[in-house]
A and B are shown apart, each in its own frame.
Chain A
Amino acid sequence: MSHDYRVVQWTPFKKTFDLWLGSGIIVFLAAHVASAVFAFPPDQHASEVQLALRASGSCAFALLSLILAIGPAARLSPRFLPLLYNRRHMGVVCFLIALLHGGLVVFWYHGFSGMNPLVSVLVSNSEFHSARGFPFETLGVGALLILFVMAATSHDFWNANLGPGLWKAIHMSVYGAYVLIVGHVMLGAAQGDEGFAWALAVGISAALVMGLHLGAGVLEARRGALMRRIVAEGWLRVGAALDIPDTRARVVSPPKGERIAVFRDGDRIHAISNVCRHQGGPLGEGRIVDGSITCPWHGFQYRPEDGCSPPPYSERVATYRTRIQNGIVFVHPEALPLGTGPGPTLIGGASPAPSDCSGEVRDV
């Protein structure tokens, strides 16, 4: 969490994850190169550099497709959450493989001439008006720049210093990079002899990524529609208190502002913002662990009573007032000042006094 910064805060899971990630990449690259070598007579396979640049390009695209699929897959089934936890490492590795691909292209196709290879990438072809002749390399350069910015700012240091909103906005540009790469392939390799296979592979990957996002979006919309029931005095109806699973939450969508996660912790009801301050993870899909609401993405924790991360951490999310009438939970959509809490609402009893981040009980 935010207490200190190390290059990588290694955990046993991250080490295992990276080991498998590295193995998967090696398998992909080896299979790509080996099949290209053995598909043709020994003296007729592609040159070593061209084998490497093809394999690295395929690998970077496949990895980026996987990275983009993990997010919605984790929304559809929490079983995919462990893949999301270390997704940033995949992103950095994806950038490095894409950089290898781009470096080989610049060296091989744009080198050995009288022109600066980097300049050549941008000026050797100006057929922007032609789909057949389009300089697809420029799209790859754009995508690589986006991936670079994302990799360079992937550390929590940047998240904390840029702020979660800006950081998230920067990292949402991955979708722009993906669109550029789809264009890069479709206007490049897909127009060659092997075009059909490339168009098929890219089309299926992009359709899978879009389908998963649509599926997760529909699920979110259904959840939101069920919970968007506004009653008198601006209070939102959440549902029967005992219908909220213990240590879990229901999420409601107010007319404006962030979604609200309403948790049940035994006989206590708490409401906090659904948006984790780390990377915007859905707190309402998390759980109360050791007395703290725990984000399903990276395990950031917040005290349910005041929305503050337990010491020594300093993240805070907004809390909201709740009430129970006839066993039905209601939440008021107006966020309380950060670091303060209204105190929980008890199911079938009086509510304790409110508190703040210091843990002190406040006068009402």
Chain B
Amino acid sequence: MSDDPFFIGWSPDLHKIDRRFLLLATFGLMAGGGGVAAFLGRQGQPPGPGIWDQSAIAGHSGLLVQTPWPMLRMIGDDGAPQTAFLATTGKLAVRLAANARGWVKVRGSLISRGENRMIAVDDGHWLGASEGIEPPGLRDWPEEDLGAAHLVGEILDAKCWFGAMRPGYGKTHKACATLCAKGGLPLAFCQTGSCGSGVDAPLFLDADGRRHGRDILPFIADRVMAKGRMVRVGDVVQFRVARPDIHRV
């Protein structure tokens, strides 16, 4: 071999200088690549403490309500009423007959984040009559105006944020959140900085406490400024905002 190093890929000979250089370059690239990967992997907020154990399917007795989204009013372990929204296991709302209401039993797996709950209903016959007796107090929905609110944050689908996705917010999740919203799942609002680690996200409704229309879709998962009122209805906090009061930041 000549002293003039010249690499020929098909040749079995590889100059010693080339070999040494390539080994150093390879180890350098692997160490550098590993470092960059480790740096990128740990970026961002934690996805949050949402939990969804799809194998833990159980029956949940409660009062079925259809507006603003299908939900079940149940009695919690502490004896106080608590709300669990209803969804399918996918990105679609449950389909209910117009007259479905009252004391029922729902089979499904629980998605929870802090005090937020949602039941992903089981396939097949997930809705039936409950064998128990409806406890008193579930039909009382005291409404309390918590005052005006002017918040910057993100409109997101509650199911993913509660724990169906981890993380279930942000730009990369925009398409998923939009599909969930189109599918009729509940919307919520998280404030910038607390979408990842926070456990509080009020439901997002129009100024009259009803669902927004499809004109809300372009704003989903974008950073927006919203001006409206916070209202507590039972154990659920709602952020009521008229569509003209939502602005992309």
Contact partner of A113 (CB less than 8 A), chosen from B44, B47, B183, B248, is: B183
* B46 x A62 contact (CB < 8 A): no
Q: How far is the CA of A125 from the CA of B181 in the complex (A)?
A: 12
Residues of chain B in range 12-48 having any CB-CB distance to chain A below 8 Å: 12, 14, 17-18, 21-22, 25-26, 29-30, 33-48
* B48 x A32 contact (CB < 8 A): no
* A192 x B30 contact (CB < 8 A): no
CB neighbours of A192 from chain B (8 A): 44, 170-172
The CB with the most chain B CB atoms within 10 A, among A20, A127, A192, is that of: A192
Q: Mark A167-207, 1 if CB is under 8 A from B, else 0.
A: 00000000000000000000111011110011001000000
* B9 x A113 contact (CB < 8 A): no
* B46 x A79 contact (CB < 8 A): no
* A299 x B9 contact (CB < 8 A): yes
Stretch from B66-74, B86-94, B237-245 forming part of the interface with A: B86-94
* Distance from B52 Cβ to chain A, minimum over Cβ atoms (Å): 9
Contact partner of B47 (CB less than 8 A), chosen from A29, A45, A247, is: A45
Q: Mark B166-178, 1 if CB is under 8 A from A, else 0.
A: 1100111111101
Q: Mark A30-46, 1 if CB is under 8 A from B, else 0.
A: 01111110111101111
Q: Mark A82-112, 1 if CB is under 8 A from B, else 0.
A: 1101100000000000000000000011101
CB neighbours of A249 from chain B (8 A): none
State whether the Cβ of A81 lies closer than 8 Å to any Cβ in chain B.
yes
Contact partner of A193 (CB less than 8 A), chosen from B40, B49, B170, is: B170
* B174 x A198 contact (CB < 8 A): no
Contact partner of B18 (CB less than 8 A), chosen from A35, A82, A194, is: A82
Contact partner of B248 (CB less than 8 A), chosen from A85, A133, A194, is: A133
State whether the Cβ of A289 lies closer than 8 Å to any Cβ in chain B.
yes
Q: How far is the CA of A79 from the CA of B21 in the complex (A)?
A: 7
* A133 x B196 contact (CB < 8 A): no
* Distance from A348 Cβ to chain B, minimum over Cβ atoms (Å): 24
Q: How far is the CA of A66 from the CA of B33 in the complex (A)?
A: 10
Contact partner of B9 (CB less than 8 A), chosen from A13, A20, A112, is: A13
State whether the Cβ of A27 lies closer than 8 Å to any Cβ in chain B.
yes
State whether the Cβ of A315 lies closer than 8 Å to any Cβ in chain B.
no
State whether the Cβ of A263 lies closer than 8 Å to any Cβ in chain B.
no
State whether the Cβ of B6 lies closer than 8 Å to any Cβ in chain A.
yes
Stretch from A50-58, A144-152, A235-243, A318-326 forming part of the interface with B: A50-58
Closest residue of chain A to B88 (Cβ to Cβ) is A112
Q: How far is the CA of A149 from the CA of B6 in the complex (A)?
A: 32
* A29 x B9 contact (CB < 8 A): no
* B195 x A35 contact (CB < 8 A): no
State whether the Cβ of A24 lies closer than 8 Å to any Cβ in chain B.
yes
* B26 x A20 contact (CB < 8 A): yes
* Distance from B35 Cβ to chain A, minimum over Cβ atoms (Å): 8
* B45 x A193 contact (CB < 8 A): yes
State whether the Cβ of A161 lies closer than 8 Å to any Cβ in chain B.
no
CB neighbours of B232 from chain A (8 A): none
Q: How far is the CA of A78 from the CA of B15 in the complex (A)?
A: 12
Q: How far is the CA of A44 from the CA of B163 in the complex (A)?
A: 10
* Distance from A337 Cβ to chain B, minimum over Cβ atoms (Å): 29
Contact partner of B36 (CB less than 8 A), chosen from A62, A80, A127, A187, is: A62
CB neighbours of A62 from chain B (8 A): 33, 36-37
* A35 x B10 contact (CB < 8 A): no
Residues of B within 8 A of A (CB): 4-12, 14, 17-18, 21-22, 25-26, 29-30, 33-49, 51, 89-92, 165-167, 170-176, 178-180, 182-183, 195-196, 218-219, 222-223, 248-249
Given A66-B29, A294-B6, 8 extra CB contacts under 8 A: A12-B12, A31-B38, A44-B49, A50-B47, A82-B22, A85-B9, A113-B182, A298-B10
